[in-house]
Amino acid sequence: MPRRPSRRAENIIPQSEPTENVKSESESEDEKDPVPRKINRVKGKAVQAKKGKASGGAKRKAKPADDEESEGEGAAPAKATKKRKTKQEKSAEDMPIVARTLVNSLKKPMYIGAHVSAAKGVHNSITNSINIGGNSFALFLKSQRKWTSPPLAPEAKDQFKAFCLEHQYDAAKHVLPHGSYLVNLAQKDAEKAKQAYTCFLDDLNRCEQLGIRLYNFHPGNTGKEPRQEAIGRIASQLNKAHKATKTVVTVLENMAGSGNVIGSTWEDLRDIIALIDDKSRVGVCIDTCHSFAAGYDLRSPDAFKQTMEGFASIVGMPYLKALHLNDSKAPFSSHRDVHANIGTGFLGLRAFHNIVNYEPFQDLPMVLETPIEKKGADGKVEEDKTVWAQEIKLLEGLIGVDPETDTFKAEEKRLSDVGAEERKKFQGQADKKAKTEDKKQQKTLDAMFKKAAPKRKKKVPKEDDGDDSDASQGSCGSC
């Protein structure tokens, strides 16, 4: 039996309003609480049960993310199982890990969630988001391991729209699908470029079928071709995709900056946007780990302000459509994309206090992509969704909080201590890499100087002459 995660989010900064009593909140009809009523699935239709029962959807044994997502391609809603469950089992499955916080109860309207599974059908992503208390979410619209996938099942599309409406998710504003990792819109090879475009366009069409307006993707890789040429190819593919669709906004994600990846600088994003014909159809998603790894500091209020002023000046705030919230296991400007749990990495809790209290981020989807894999009692790695539930409450609890209070500082230290060993490990790797690069650079410089140095001419000994010899020895001419 896999270990069932705890149903309470512990060690988090308290909220201004309690959110753990699911029953009392779900019964409040006047507040239009987004905590769901129980959902029964019969022959592909959602049936509401009596008021006052919260639902988070059935929990399954965790699978690796890629395997799990591949099952959600075009699946119709799963039919109810014939095997009967005990009352205790049903109660445990129907209860979300935590209740969703009413966004209008927060001091700033921040829509925080996570990248959840869409296994067995896209409609299940909503149930999974509710389960962790998310007010926004990301998902994969099809398998990440295949170029082609079956179309979305009509029943899954209908349930996705119905669930969004029922549970008050604005699909056009707060749902952020993630693009396929296979796609590289900067691809130069004609056949591969066509394959990438077809896969990309298929996702955009899925978005429009579901009423989703934002679609996040990685810009691409130069493939050792000139950067500006690669940027031109990305823009060309986007322009073509925009003409083939009606409403979806293609959202460029900033990158950490390793290898030939495009998008690690604000200038890269600016240059792509500059070539887009319909600029209302393009935007940017800032990933906090990627930004930090690429050399954009978010840790102190001053550093955060400088980074955001740079983004506003170079790219433009109107283009900002979403955020990915991740701490970083790797140190600043390391160009390594290694996500850490909130407050445990090199960014630290103060960076996320800056983020959730920044007014221009209001009403944007803010999506966690932090690690949730843990070893169970049997030694097997499984996913613990409680991690996301806790992090959502933690981030919501930072809104409007004074970071100079003892409560904040204690939580900041606790989380920092949790990640101390990992930070030490990655700092050691960074230091070792820096030393290696310094040695390589020194060798290169030495070779350059050696090559540039003029060759010395061989000295030809002069013939001795008596007078010269005497003079050289300081002889006196009068002797």
pLDDT tens for residues 108-122?
999 999 999 999 999
User: What percent of the chain lies above the pLDDT cut of 70?
Assistant: 75
pLDDT digits (tens, 9 = 90+) for 389-427: 999 999 999 999 999 999 999 999 999 999 999 999 999
Interatomic CA distance for residues 101 and 16, integer angstroms:
11
Q: At what angle do helices 124-131 and 154-166 cross, to 10 degrees?
A: 30
pLDDT digits (tens, 9 = 90+) for 242-274: 999 999 999 999 999 988 999 999 999 999 999
Answer yes or no: are the C-beta atoms of 321 and 214 closer than 8 Å. yes
DSSP string, 119-185: TT-TTHHHHHHHHTT-SSEE--SS-SS-S--PPPPHHHHHHHHHHHHHTT--HHHHB--B--TT--T
3-state secondary structure of 411: helix
**Weakest mean pLDDT among 78-92, 319-333, 427-441:** 78-92
pLDDT over 70 at 16, yes or no: no
DSSP string, 195-244: HHHHHHHHHHHHHHHHT--EEEE--EE-TTS-HHHHHHHHHHHHHHHHHH
pLDDT over 60 at 42, yes or no: no
Q: What mean pLDDT is predicted for residues 353-366?
A: 99
pTM: 0.78
pLDDT value of residue 449: 76
Q: What mean pLDDT is predicted for residues 353-367?
A: 99
- DSSP letter at 54 equals B
- Tallying the residues shown for the chain, one arrives at 479
Residue whose structure tokens are 């500006």: 228
pLDDT over 50 at 152, yes or no: yes
pLDDT digits (tens, 9 = 90+) for 20-34: 333 333 333 333 444
pLDDT over 70 at 203, yes or no: yes
pLDDT value of residue 82: 55
What is the per-residue burial (b if ≥16 Cβ within 10 Å, else e) of 13-49?
A: beeeeebeebeebbeeeeeebbbbbbbebeebebeee
pLDDT band at residue 441 using 50, 70 and 90 as cut-offs: confident
Backbone angles phi, psi at 136, to 5 degrees: -150, 165
Query: Residue 277 has which token pair?
Result: 């014909």
Q: What mean pLDDT is predicted for residues 182-206?
A: 98
Q: Where are the domains of the chain?
A: 22-435
pLDDT band at residue 445 using 50, 70 and 90 as cut-offs: confident
Positions marked catalytic? 145, 178, 181, 218, 253, 287, 290, 324, 337, 339, 369
pLDDT value of residue 69: 44
DSSP strand pairing (261-262 vs 220-221)? antiparallel
Q: Return the CATH number of 22-435, one of 3.40.50.150, 3.30.1240.10, 3.20.20.150, 3.20.20.20.
A: 3.20.20.150
pLDDT value of residue 358: 99
pLDDT value of residue 338: 98
pLDDT value of residue 45: 38
